[in-house]
Every structure is written in C-alpha cells, then in structure tokens.
Homo-oligomer: A and B are copies of this chain.
Amino acid sequence: MKNEVAEILKRNQLSVTDSRQKILELFRLSNSALAHADIEKKTSEQFDRVTIYRTLQTFVEKGIVHTIPTTDNSVLYALCKDNCSQGRHHDNHVHFICDNCGTTYCLEHITIPNVEVPGNFVTKRTDVVVSGLCDKCS
C-alpha cells in the first residue's frame, strides 16, 4: 500500500519522496533483511547509489529500520515493527543468518535473553545473531 508507506514517512516527519516510498515498500514486501547491495540491485535504474545510502541512514536514525551485525563487512537492514522511534529501538528479537542461502530473518517471536556483564559495564543494546541453516536449506 503506497498510502500506508506515505503515512509512515509522515509520522516520522520525513518528506514523502519517490525513493523513500519505494525503498520502504521493498522492506515491507520482503520477509528477510536487505543489504545496501540488494536495494541497489532492485532500484539502481531508478535511484542513485548515494540516495540509497542516505535513505537507509535516515531510516535507521528515525527508527524505521534497524541494523543487524554481520561478520563479513556488510550491514543488513530490516523493518522495525511496532513502536521504534528516533534513538529508541524496541526490536528485541534474535536474528538468523543462513550460511547456505544468505537469507537473514528477524525471529520476531524469539526475544533477546538477559545477558549479565561485569560490574562497571553498562548495557545499551544486545544483539543476538544465530547462523546455520534456515528452514528452506536444512
């Protein structure tokens, strides 16, 4: 729904532009996380590389998407569900990266366990990334 996408942008005080609409739509249609390269492949005819970088950055800042750490010099992005906002992500779920097909899933229903850290360390964020074989590859 183009309209719903525009709503999300407005709610986040972003002007509604073609690139933001299209890229946000891509995330909504995908059931897995996307890398910059994925988005570039699907939209490079339409948008400049730089625009994609800036759009992703903006989405992260606004709490529209969240990042997923990886071990291969890439960053993955996925939609934040509920009520994330500027600087406050509430995506408290585990991520799964398939070693075989590379697909990365937000396991929305599996919550991050509480992890103890030494006395004077302060936890701001905890990422849990599981890798292995996804349901399609196992």
Contact = CB atoms under 8 A, between A and B. Distances in A.
Count this chain's copies in the assembly: 2
Contacts of A127: 69, 71, 127-131
B126 A122 contact: no
Contacts of A68: 71
A131 to B, nearest CB: 5
How large, as a class, is the contact surface on chain A?
A: 35 or more
A50 to B, nearest CB: 16
A41 B96 CA distance: 34
Contacts of A122: 132-133, 138
Instruction: Across the A-B interface, give the 7 residue pairs with the lowest CB-CB distance, nearest first.
Output: A124-B132, A120-B135, A69-B69, A122-B133, A122-B132, A69-B71, A113-B113
